[in-house]
Structure 1
Amino acid sequence: MIPLGVQLYSVRDQLTPDPDGVLRRLADLGYQFVEPTLGLLGGDPDGFRRLLHRHGLTAPSLHAPVLGPTRDEVADAARAIGAQTVVVASIPATEFGTAAGVARCADRLTEAAADLARHGLGLAYHNHHWELAERPGGQHALELLAALLPEHIALELDLYWAATGGADVPALLRRLGARVQFLHVKDGPATLDAPMTAVGAGTLPIDAYLTAAAPGARRIVEIDRCAGDMLTALADSYAYLRGLSPAVLGGGR
């Protein structure tokens, strides 16, 4: 069975007062792993890992501000929860309007990756809409960034924000190939400000996106905000994805 995960930013409001209950609910829904943010560990990465183990969950990746002065703290937290990869959630949009700005981003990420490697950790970069909307030299800024980064730095492609930024997402996935090791799977109206929906209930061709993705990329459901109950939306998302054929969900075509 292809594992499915949840980005815990989706349940940030529920998780803080009741991490044990929320993780139990996600496991009961069928999710096999989660992707926390550093701030959602409650200042106790070791305790968070114990909660994960209690509910049969893992956390292969962690969103954290690794480009700043807290890099050692981030590395310690990632190792404590059992993560193998630290994900940079974003770099300001102003850096992606020019080739020189993208090159600066690549330099910062490369330097951070070298430090993390000494801790036995990998690095990935997560996009928003602006890395696709900006096209220095006629190329998506995200693709320019990928070309400048060492091969061992991965991408976490947010399908929703890639579509909102104007990308042909299946074509983008095929061009990037195995560089995309994580997917944020989300759905909705593909606008900047409107609430998102459960996966499968929005306007995006999720099946076409997943078909085009690399088979090894982790499928992570994320709903930044929605109009209804978040846990219900996550349950509906899981049901939709499990209803897809393995050939579609697994990708590689």
Structure 2
Amino acid sequence: MDKKTSLPMKIVVYAIMMGYAVVALFPFLWAFYTSLRPTREAYKLNFDLSNLSFSAYVDLIVKNDITRWYFNSFVIAVSVTILGVLLSTMAGYALARIDFAGKNLIFMCILGVMMIPGQITMIPQYMLLNRFGFVNSYVGLIVPFVFNAFNIFMMRQFFMSFPASLEEAAELDGLSKIGTFFKIVLPLAKPALTTITIMSFMGSWNNFLMPNLLITSRDMYTLPVGMASLNSQYFSFPNQTMAGAMLLSAPMIVVFLIFQRYFIEGVTSSGIKE
């Protein structure tokens, strides 16, 4: 905030920001508080801290395959993130730096894909994956989500603003195109890479519709699909329902808190200028 800003104005601005933070965090904090309360008190609007415990979490984990669902979600999310970020970065770099026939047409197609709602392609994807025998498999839950048009678009825009002189200098020093990409370009693209990494991980971790369509075996459930299957069982137990929501949210919160600085840099930065 500008040093010339008056004290009353600063107080007003910070008060508004704190109010917004409270409003934004309250549902999460209340859900966590509810998950620690006994079932009989879960609906009561009071702040009795004497009976809080993690029994709802223990009951949820012991009676269900939560650890298996966590493992499935972790394997799928990490695989989608690593492969997706690698391919999106290479594709974005190629569209920004390499001249080849049909480059603009490919980029227009990528923009077109971004405008198509994912629900429209769900049934064709399912039919294709079913024909190849990828239903109820990690392959079917990973491969369709590796390609991300938005990530390619974002990396392409980042590399378009990236100074080509750095790459030219590296190549003059004897680095190959691939060496320049991995040793010069990628380290300087850390903010953009972190942004698409977080978005890819969160998108894959939260993905429900397509996995719900592709998975019929309980052992292959991802955490969102597994939690949804427990809704009817725990509908009358709001503390366990909220415990499930907390278990689902925890990895995303941890990932975002660790990488939030790079995420904000990636979103706000327009790249390195000449």
Smaller-chain TM-score bracket = under 0.3
| Structure 2 length-normalised TM | 0.24
Structure with more helix by fraction: 2
| Structure 1 length-normalised TM | 0.25
The structure that has the greater radius of gyration is 2
Structure with more strand by fraction: 1
